[in-house]
Structure formats: C-alpha cells, structure tokens
C-alpha cells in the first residue's frame, strides 16, 4: 500500500500494522486476525456474516457458500502446519529467531488472496467500507482462517511437544508482557488473547471466533497465564469457607472525622478492620476444614474465601497449608497496600502453584518461602449509602446522611485469566467489580473464561439479589459459569425490608446449562464443599463454524456441608 | 499492582522450556531476558543462559520456580 488517504482503510491498517503490504501477508495468524478484527470493530461489517433476505420472494444472499465452515477449517489447519514446518526447520539455536523463521512460512494461497483483496481496497474510506461485500468477505475469511489456525492458543500444550505454534505463541505472550499473542502488532494498538466461549446469543465481533479474542488496548490491562499443572479431572471440588463467620458493627469505622467534599456532595471514607486470627486458631480451623472436606471427597482443588477474609499474615499461613495439600487458594485480603503509593487497597490473592504436582516439594525445607501468589486489586470502591447502612445494622458506626466510600486505592485496572489443568480458564472479581463491569466488561466478555469467581462482602446470595442478576449477565454472554461467595458474618447481619435477617445463603452458583443454585449452610456448618462437573457442549460462530463440541462448561454437581 | 516475581516465573518457564526444545536462538533468549523485572529472575536467567547442565543449586531453583507455566 503506497499513498495514504486520511480516513482510508490504508491509513487504519498502516496504523495497526506499520509497513503492511499487499504482497506480504503476515505469517502469524494472530497478527492477521488483529488487522481484520480491528477493521471490523471499526466498520461493523462482520454483521454481514448472517445473510438477510430482501422480501418474501427474495432469498437471502449469503456471503459464503455452504461448505464454508469446512473450507475455513482446512485452510486454518494448513496454515498451522505451515507455521509448524517453518519453525521446526528454521528456528532455534544457531538458526533463525522464531520471528525470522515465521517469515519463511508458506502462507496458504487462500489466506494470501484474502489479504490481497483487503489491501486492494486500501483507498476506500473506512467509514464507508462496510457495504463492500467483497471487502467484508475477505475480512471475515482472514479472521476465520486465523481463528482455525490458532486452535488451543494459550490453553496448554494442545498440540503436544511438536506443536511449535504453541511455543511461538508463548514466546510472543511473554514478550508482550502476557497481554497479547501478536508478533508484529504493538500491544498498545491491539491485543489478541485466547478464548473459551463464543457467545451464542446476539451478534458481535466476539460471535465470530472460537479461539482468538480481540482486546482493545484501552485502560484495562489483561494478563494471561497458562499454568503447567496436571490435567484436572472431570470433577472439581472447591472448599468454600465464608470467613469471617461473625462480623461486628464496630469493625466498620469512618477513617477520620474529616468530611470529604467533592463538588457539592459530602462523603466520608470508611474502613473495615477486625482483630487478627491467632496463628494456632487459624491453622487449627483451616486444617480441620480441609480434613473434613477430605472425608467427603478424595480430591480437593481449591479453597475459596470471600472478599476481605484474610490479613496478609493470615494469607501466608493459609497459603502454606494449601501448598502442602496441593490445593489452589483464592481469598480477599483486608490489609493490603498498593506498592507504588503505599495506600490501603482492597485486593485478592490467588495461589495457583499449589496445583502443580510438585507443589509440596516446592516448599523449601525449613524455609517460609512459597512461590509467589498473584495479586489483583479491586476496581471499584464500595459505597455504603443509607439503605445499606440500615441493611447491615451499621447505623451506630457510619453516618446514614452521607455516602460512605470504602477507603481503598484504585490503581491501573487489571484482570487476569489463568488456564489450569487442561480445561479450566478462570478469572476473579471482587464484589463491586461484578456489579460495575465497566471498564473490564469488554475484555472479560471477549475472552469468556469458563469460570468467574466473585469474592464478596455482601448479604445473602439469594437468586433475587443483585449478584445473581450480574452472574446471569455473564452466564448469558459470554457463557461463563459464575461462583459468588460472601462471608457468613455479613450474610447473617443483612436485614431485608421487613427487618428479617440471619440468612445462611453464603454462595450462589450460576451456569448457562442448569441455571442458578443458592448455596446455604446448614445448621452449625461453617463451610461446604462445592462440587463441579465438566460438561462439553458445541458452540458455533456466527459464520457457522463448529468448535467440534470442545466448549467446556463447569456445572453444579453438589454441595457437601462441613 | 505488582506481580513482578509471579511474572518473572512465567518468563523463566518459557526460557527453560523453549530452550529444552531447542527453539531459542540468541535473539529470542535476549528478548525474554529483557522482560525480567526482579533481581531473582535475572539471576535464574543467567544460570539458565550460561549452564548447559545446571548446577545442583540452579536445578533446585528450576524445579521450584521456573517450569511452572506451559510453554
């Protein structure tokens, strides 16, 4: 592409991929996808993948022939093999770099032709480009070929040790600071990550792919991790510990007596603090809960605690116990601070290394050192208004006449996606982040993790309350299963409009296949084991391509009281 | 929000595993090395880079930390 007209397709593509040329189709499928998808994100042309008739006597005029899904798969597979061949023969020590070896790939003619077609439309104004069916067809072809070629990207060693494609993807992911699988596309211009769900309702750009997701480089920084852990079974068991079991009103306090004025509105800041749990008590209670869980199930995969459940010191103790048992640990942290500012920060931690087969051995004998856990900060502050102060019976501690904001620093928003054990890709959200899904919604929906865990400091997890509504949104699109968990202390404190409280519904499960389940603690139970089962389902892209029944959905399979 | 050591583990996993598959040339190795953020990460990287057969203490580090992620 030579001359650049302002507002033209050429100008846009040259921004995304500097130096793009009609006779030099990029060899790396995620790069091609990034170009095609960003164009379609701008001009909306992808909607034409579903044909519309003109009238009762006019048949729809589809963009693609009947055998398009098969053709796309064949081209994608050929492309994948070509990449593998180039890397296998040319990349390595004493040979070419992975990037240079990729340049020697024999890109399939179908891909090159579609690329050339797009480039031939270089002078078309981007805003007027959508009605051009030839261009749109080529863009969807490129997106779909790249999608088929990228099967299993970021999801472990799908193709085995000989799948050099996966190795190259990992290299590029690390070089892009775990934000994108692209090679030539700067992560500040477009990001491409893996994917677990294709929306089956509505029609968006996300409807067009099974394996690649376009994440625009806005304010949220996604992080993709692919943990090398043993394959998870078809059954998962999560130990849910709704700590603290009691919440005292005095644990909620205004930070100081200064009213913060922002414009005409008055606010106060509040904090939640409680007495630390004695080490011996913590070890005893956590150990007992794990032991009770193992009396009911032979394998335990994760221990989950709510928002603000543990202090940093308590986390360290719990983490070692989890490591010893080979169980993942997810918990909200009360007293974390932002590294850069030193300000208090509501966060969660996730220790995934414990899932590795060598987890126990990773604890150095005689040392307190454990592998680092992942930390994620809360994206939105909790705001306690009059209604909530009354709901939680906090009127003796917090002023009902003012809005009370959680004293938590908000830093650059990030969300992690962790793929573990061959089929589970999960993310964690903290309380408000489930309700106020902007600005992470776009990234979260693009990737569509098959499990979202929401850690809450909230009332009972009833199907009629807000958390169930927002869980339903994610279960509907992109199709994620959602677990919400609050503390027993907050659940019991919560009063409904008639003043009735004491609910023991501490968690809620939502999946797209079997719907909603309230999880209630029985009698004197202090926790429970939530069992999940993996089910396979078939999903289709909007252009009619099947994923071969490879969509894995965690579904509810039982609750055992401790 | 800092996850520096966690991130370095992911980078080192990639170095260790791609090197084992003989897929890394000098330029790729340097690209990965430049991503490391902690002194610990850079030390393990140097050990990985310089030793064809890791020393026993490096082997311990690798076993504990640097093969944690798929590559």
Residue B17 covered by a domain: yes
Average pLDDT over residues A194-204: 93
Best CA proximity match to A352, nearest among A331, A373, A325, A368: A373
CA distance B20 to chain A (A): 11
How many Cα atoms are found within 13 Å in the side-chain-facing hemisphere of A202?
11
Are A105 and A82 within 8 A, CB to CB? yes
Are A230 and A421 within 8 A, CB to CB? yes
- How far apart CA A53 and CA A367 sit, in angstroms, is 70
Report the chain B residue with the minimal C-alpha distance to residue A164. Answer: B23
Structural domain total, chain B? 1
Q: What is the tens place of the pLDDT at every residue in B11-52?
A: 988 888 888 888 889 999 999 999 999 988 898 888 778 765
Q: Decide: helix, strand or coil at residue A504.
A: coil
Q: Could you state, in order of their start, the residue ranges of all structural domains in chain A? A: 9-217, 235-561
Residue B12 covered by a domain: yes
Does residue A381 carry a pLDDT above 60? yes
Which pair of tokens denotes residue B45? 């990287």
Domain encompassing residue B10:
4-66
Are A124 and A132 within 8 A, CB to CB? yes
Are A451 and A481 within 8 A, CB to CB? yes
User: Quick one: A55 exposed, middle or buried, by C-beta within 10 A (0-12, 13-18, 19+)?
Assistant: exposed
Q: What is the tens place of the pLDDT at every residue in A155-165?
A: 986 666 678 99
Which residue of A97, A372, A412 is in closest CB contact with B25?
A97
pLDDT-derived band at B5 (thresholds 50, 70, 90) equals confident
pTM exceeds cut of 0.90: yes
Per-residue pLDDT at A498: 85
Per-residue pLDDT at A262: 57
- The number of residues in chain B equals 71
Cα of first residue to Cα of last residue in chain A, in angstroms, is 67
Verify whether the Cβ–Cβ distance A175 to B31 is below 8 Å.
yes
CA distance B2 to chain A (A): 7
CATH 3.60.110.10 fits A235-561, yes or no: yes
B14 vs A contacts (CB less than 8 Å): 170-171, 174
Residue B31 covered by a domain: yes
Verify whether the Cβ–Cβ distance A96 to B25 is below 8 Å.
yes
Per-residue pLDDT at A21: 94
Tokens 């190259």 sit on residue = A168
Per-residue pLDDT at A159: 63
Residue B71 covered by a domain: no
CA distance A246 to chain B (A): 30
Structure ipTM over 0.85, yes or no: yes
B70 vs A contacts (CB less than 8 Å): 156-157, 166, 170, 226-228, 419
Which pair of tokens denotes residue B51? 């030793």
Q: What angle do CA A239, A245, A251 make, to 5 degrees?
A: 130
């Amino acid at each position: 592409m030579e001359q650049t007209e302002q507002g033209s397709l050429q100008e846009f593509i040259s921004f995304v991929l500097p130096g793009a040329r009609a006779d030099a189709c990029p060899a790396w499928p995620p790069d091609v996808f990034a170009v095609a998808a960003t164009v379609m994100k701008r001009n909306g042309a992808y909607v034409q993948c579903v044909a519309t008739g003109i009238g009762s006597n006019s048949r729809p005029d589809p963009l693609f022939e009947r055998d398009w899904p098969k053709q796309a798969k064949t081209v994608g597979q050929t492309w994948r093999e070509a990449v593998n061949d180039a890397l296998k023969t040319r990349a390595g020590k004493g040979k070419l770099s992975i990037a240079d070896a990729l340049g020697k790939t024999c890109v399939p003619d179908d891909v090159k032709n579609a690329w050339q077609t797009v480039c031939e439309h270089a002078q078309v104004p981007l805003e007027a480009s959508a009605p051009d069916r030839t261009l749109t067809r080529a863009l969807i072809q490129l997106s779909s070929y790249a999608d088929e070629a990228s099967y299993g990207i970021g999801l472990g060693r799908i193709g085995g040790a000989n799948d050099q494609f996966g190795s190259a993807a990992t290299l590029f992911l690390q070089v892009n600071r775990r934000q994108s699988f692209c090679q030539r596309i700067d992560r500040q211009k477009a990001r491409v990550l893996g994917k677990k769900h294709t929306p089956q309702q509505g029609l968006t750009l996300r409807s067009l792919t099974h394996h690649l997701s376009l994440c625009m480089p806005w304010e949220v920084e996604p992080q993709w991790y692919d943990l090398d852990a043993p394959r998870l079974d078809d059954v998962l068991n999560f130990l849910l510990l709704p700590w603290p079991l009691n919440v005292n009103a005095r644990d909620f306090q205004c930070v100081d007596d200064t009213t913060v004025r922002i414009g005409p509105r008055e606010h106060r800041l509040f904090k939640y603090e409680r007495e630390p749990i004695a080490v011996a008590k913590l070890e005893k209670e956590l150990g007992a809960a794990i032991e009770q869980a193992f009396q009911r199930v032979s394998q335990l995969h994760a221990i989950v605690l709510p928002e603000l459940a543990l202090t940093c010191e308590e986390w360290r103790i719990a983490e070692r116990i989890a490591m010893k048992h080979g169980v993942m640990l997810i918990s909200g942290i009360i007293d974390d601070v932002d590294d850069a500012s030193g300000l208090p920060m509501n966060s969660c931690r996730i220790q995934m290394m414990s899932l590795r087969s060598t987890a126990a051995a990773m604890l150095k004998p005689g040392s307190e050192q454990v592998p680092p856990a992942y930390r994620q900060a809360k994206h939105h502050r909790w705001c306690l208004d009059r209604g909530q102060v009354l709901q939680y019976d906090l009127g003796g501690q917090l002023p009902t006449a003012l809005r009370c904001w959680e004293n938590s620093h908000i830093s650059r928003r990030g969300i992690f996606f962790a793929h573990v054990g061959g089929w589970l890709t999960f993310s964690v959200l903290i309380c408000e982040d489930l309700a106020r899904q902007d600005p992470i919604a776009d990234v979260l929906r693009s990737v569509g993790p098959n499990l979202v865990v929401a850690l809450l400091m909230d009332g009972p997890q009833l199907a009629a309350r807000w958390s169930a509504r927002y869980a339903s949104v994610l279960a509907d699109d992109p199709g994620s299963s959602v677990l919400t968990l609050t503390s027993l202390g907050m659940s019991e404190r919560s009063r409904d409009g008639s003043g009735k409280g004491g609910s023991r519904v501490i968690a809620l499960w939502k999946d797209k296949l079997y719907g909603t389940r309230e999880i209630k603690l029985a009698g004197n139970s202090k926790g429970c084991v939530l069992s999940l089962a993996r089910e396979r389902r078939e999903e289709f892209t909007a252009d009619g391509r099947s994923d071969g029944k490879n969509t894995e959905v965690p579904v509810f399979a039982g609750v055992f009281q401790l | 929000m800092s996850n520096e050591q966690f991130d370095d583990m992911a980078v080192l996993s990639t170095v260790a595993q791609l090197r084992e598959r003989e897929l890394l040339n000098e330029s790729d190795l340097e690209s990965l090395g430049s991503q490391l953020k902690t002194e610990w990460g850079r030390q393990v990287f140097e050990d990985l880079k310089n030793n064809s057969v890791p020393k026993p203490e490096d082997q311990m580090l690798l076993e504990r930390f640097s093969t944690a992620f798929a590559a």
